[in-house]
Amino acid sequence: DAGVIQSPRHEVTEMGQEVTLRCKPISGHNSLFWYRQTMMRGLELLIYFNNNVPIDDSGMPEDRFSAKMPNASFSTLKIQPSEPRDSAVYFCASSGTQGSQNTIYFGEGSWLTVV
């Protein structure tokens, strides 16, 4: 079975540019999560969706960040404009329909460097 698929795996961009990260959750999963990992702050939950609806976006750092889930099989995380402090690994994760009991499965991450 395919796991959570993220693209791009690596991106280097210049400050001020728009960055779009993409995620395809595991088929049949109804919860999707975006996490950010940095050395300084560890793993932070940015936003999560249930049935394509954003439930908690309190972790989104500022208005430059936005996330969408237009359908059950696709989500994007956009940063516009990007800044060097946004350099991090961004993980997408998904889980199934049994609520909190379900395991959250992670993608391999998108490694973002903003120069």
Residues in contact with other proteins by CB under 8 A are 4, 31, 33, 42-43, 45, 48, 50, 55-56, 91, 93, 95, 99-101, 103-109, 111
CA dist., res. 54 & res. 47, Å (int):
7
Task: Report the residue number, 20 or 102, with the smaller CB distance to other proteins.
Answer: 102
Closest separation in Å from C-beta 98 to other proteins: 10
Closest separation in Å from C-beta 1 to other proteins: 14
Q: Which two tokens stand for residue 82?
A: 């990007």
Q: If 0-12 CB within 10 Å is exposed, 13-18 middle and 19+ buried, where does residue 73 land?
A: middle
Closest separation in Å from C-beta 48 to other proteins: 6
Task: Report the residue number, 74 or 105, with the smaller CB distance to other proteins.
Answer: 105
CA dist., res. 54 & res. 32, Å (int):
9
Largest alpha-carbon pair distance within the chain? Answer: 41
